[in-house]
Structure 1
Amino acid sequence: MEGSIRYLDIASVIVGVDGSQSARKAALWAAAEAVRRDRPLHIVHGADALFVSADTFERVRQAGRQLLDETAETVSSEYPGLTVTTEFSRRDPVASLHRAAGLHGTIVVGNRGLGGFSSLLLGSVGLETAAGAKTPVIVVRGAEDRNEAGIVTAAVCDELDLTCAQYAAREAELRKASLRLLHVWSILQSVGLVASMLDDVGEITEEHVRKLKAITEQIRDEYPSLTVQADAEKSASVAGVLVEASNHADLLVMGGRRKPGYIGPMLGRVTHSLVHHAHCPVLLVPRHSRGSGSES
């Protein structure tokens, strides 16, 4: 491994680059985030070159260093006061980003890499990074020319999402924006297949509203100067409501729910939909669930 990791701390911003336009966009977005946090930016290129010949590695290393230097120059010209460090790693990109983030850093990735189809779906590196991360991950999505909404939206489910709401409140303060706490639940999931249980529907609705109110009151106590709006909605598609909400937000924050997979952790259904289809950047905050049953 090469590079400097002299400045990493609890609020550091780490961005992965691979030469794609998406990664360049992510690097500039990450730089703006680092400026907002008044912290340095660390740019990482994982070459996945552990088992190659010396000649091949030297060519990969030179290309990687050139990419890092060019990215750092672009970022520095846009944000001249920002401290920027770079790191070339022989490891694969996912392991390189996780290692650079350590215990507290925030990882930023683009919505797609160099490989795969020319759609706007998140690439495999981004998916693996988000699924396996123990620190926050931001997937940079949305059009570059979209107007600022002045809103940070947090998707909250229950008391386990208080940390998610706190992250969102901090991001709203940094942006001088308002905070929207959005609680969405699937009524079909709540009552199973028995659609005629109207009394149960009413009780379930009250319970969901109670959970949202508890989180909202705590956030308002902790951030008294922040404008906080709380909305509770029921829908047949939780992901659909959140994707639509992302149309009117500068950042969508949610608990990054994971579930076991055949070859490693996977993102839950709703989380997976958001990182593929949201209209704004998505910040995934690791969520420590009660058990393995939740995969939303």
Structure 2
Amino acid sequence: MEGITGRPELGSVVVGVDGSEPARRAVFWAADEAARRGTLLHIVHGADTDTRSLYLSADSIEGIRSAGHELLRDIAAVVAERFPDLRVTTEFSRSAPVPSLQRTAGLRGTLVVGSRGLGGFAYLMLGSVGLRIVGAATTPVVVVRGEDDTVAGVVVAAVRDEHDAESVRYAACEAEIRGASLRLLHVWNVFASAGVATPMLDGAGTVVGERVRRLTDLTARIREEFPGLTVQAEAEKSLNTAGALVEASRHADLLVMGGRRSPGYIGPTLGRVTHGLVHHAHCPVQLIPRGHGSEA
């Protein structure tokens, strides 16, 4: 657990809008998050007019620009009414949504996307823009899921191993600014070791004991670093890790999970557990690229 080197800095919040209802909900979630952090909210509309200009008329492009600027004005006005003390900036980008959001977020901003865009396909639980943002993330990303604003007072941190210390610390910060408790949840997938030799399976009790020890150690360090935070830890056996985490999300305000791949990015493709969460969770899901913001 030596990766714990200090509290992460929760940066500014960047949210994309496209006129859809999920994006509108994402804006209000992002505004609430920025207000809690005491930081800026950047609202971005990536219109992709540079690409569209290759096959659309000048009048059509001007119509897209006009509609985009109007969308930004309208949503900024509603945000200002609900959060009068929040600092808000808007940006109309000629680039596509994904590079526009990534550029605005920079190295430390948190990206917020809705669960689905204007594509209109209900079976796509997360839209194509959201998938590309999550898959190529180099900065924290929140996928705003859930159908209501019920407050559970709990932030859940998914813990796989000691390398998730960084994402747990992000979860602790999120719990702290919400006045919520923190639940560390390690799910041991019974089938994950299906290809392991039989002698290894005979020592399953030792493996579970080591997992519990690591979780206990991480919990103690988080309690030490966040003395005012209520922290509980649970290790749970399941046949389906994603399913267990989705179920946990029913009773959470936010579920935080670390990236599985090498430092600096989550993607370019998503692991099965991450994919399941961003498509089916009952609360917003925050993904922290492994290695983000630390030297660990």
Mapped partners of 2:60, 2:99: distance in 1 = 21
| Contact 1:256-1:267 at 8 Å conserved across structures | no
The question of 1:73 aligning with 2:55 is answered: no
1:42 corresponds to which residue?
Answer: 42
| Contact 1:131-1:258 at 8 Å conserved across structures | no
Mapped partners of 2:80, 2:198: distance in 1 = 58
**Amino acid of the residue matched to residue 15 of structure 1?**
V
1:218 corresponds to which residue?
Answer: 221
Q: Which has the higher contact order (CA 8 A, sep 6+)?
A: 2
1:28 corresponds to which residue?
Answer: 28
Mapped partners of 1:193, 1:76: distance in 2 = 56
- Structure 2: 5+ residue runs without aligned partners? 1-8
2:132 corresponds to which residue?
Answer: 128
> 1:57 deviation in Å?
2.4
TM-score by length of 1: 0.88
2:108 to 104, 109, 115: 104
Cα offsets for 1:190-227 (capped at 9, x unmatched): 35366786631101101111221121111111101110
Mapped partners of 2:119, 2:177: distance in 1 = 34
1:202 to 198, 201, 205: 205
**Amino acid of the residue matched to residue 113 of structure 1?**
G
| Contact 1:44-1:88 at 8 Å conserved across structures | yes
Mapped partners of 1:165, 1:104: distance in 2 = 17
Mapped partners of 1:16, 1:249: distance in 2 = 24
**Amino acid of the residue matched to residue 184 of structure 2?**
L
Question: What fraction of aligned residue pairs are identical, expressed as a percent?
Answer: 61
Cα offsets for 1:137-189 (capped at 9, x unmatched): 000000124x2111000001112111100000000000001000001121221
**Amino acid of the residue matched to residue 99 of structure 2?**
A
User: How many residues were matched structurally?
Assistant: 276
The question of 1:17 aligning with 2:29 is answered: no
Assess, with a 3 A threshold, how the Cα gap between structure 1 residues 16 and 85 changes in structure 2: closer, same or farther.
same
| Contact 2:10-2:37 at 8 Å conserved across structures | no
Mapped partners of 1:11, 1:257: distance in 2 = 22
**Amino acid of the residue matched to residue 72 of structure 1?**
A
| Contact 1:191-1:201 at 8 Å conserved across structures | no
1:177 corresponds to which residue?
Answer: 180
1:87 to 87, 91, 95: 91
Cα offsets for 1:88-140 (capped at 9, x unmatched): 11111001010000000000000000104124600000010011110000000
Cα offsets for 1:227-286 (capped at 9, x unmatched): 000001121100011000000100000013359xxxx71111100000000000000000
1:150 to 125, 149, 153: 153
1:160 to 156, 159, 163: 163
CA RMSD of aligned residues (A): 1.9
2:144 to 140, 145, 150: 140
The question of 1:190 aligning with 2:193 is answered: yes
TM-score by length of 2: 0.88
